[in-house]
Structure 1
């Protein structure tokens, strides 16, 4: 890992922690859809830090790595759905899945990553109005915690999983800096 990689990983992790703190905010001034947005943002940034840490692809694949992972809203979902990825990105996806499996047995982080905001009125979004099964248009702020829990997973479980995830990435960075034991 180069110093530039370390600096970028650290920046992603600092922002992930800030997003997690915002997602933990519980007050009458913060609606559940906003909390869920920040939890998703935390997950996204922690995934990007992990992806940078694990990335070992050739320089010729760096542009594809950035286009299909670092510059995407739901990076894990993007890799899973992308067609014709180079071998290096397929390996990265497999490594990320292994790391997530170690800390997220309930797959909450995968579920959070998959909640990409969409302007499709038939798709649930924490940023844009959508159409409920009843056909009624719903503003995301109208959904209560139970609605979000059913869609994205329990918020307390998500915040605990995100805490574990950030700590796991930080520990992996430290291990990599120390080198082989």
Structure 2
């Protein structure tokens, strides 16, 4: 069950050097996710009824090792939702990265769109790392494919006529494909 990885980006980056640095961080994060111990830990909890908090706990150590802070406060203090915060945040130069971990409600409750919106309004981040399941298990055995759906849904925001205030979204799919 390999970790899927895809980048959605604006054709013309505001700062190519920052994009290159963020891309390097994304590669390091993907490598961390692909280590057998992490893949196995995710596989063990990625079952029907699991929560994003369980997945978040597994990736926390690797995210923090790369320089991400957990649930950084005050990134949205100028908005009427000041308590809003990402799962993880990392400053990169004059901008930053929001890292969000999703599980069961990724597309059913539009959490992928909420995560993109958070990055869109955040004055401290122009990049989104979004970790979602390749497949969401259902109680009856069938399931959905959130990673493929998120990739398709978010891609529209990176077409020139639909740009949002996010330079790139780095998608990471976990679990069986």
For normalisation by structure 1, the TM-score amounts to 0.27
Q: Would you tell me which structure has more helix in proportion to its own residues?
A: 1
For normalisation by structure 2, the TM-score amounts to 0.27
Relative contact order (alpha carbons < 8 A, sep ≥ 6): 1 or 2 greater? 2
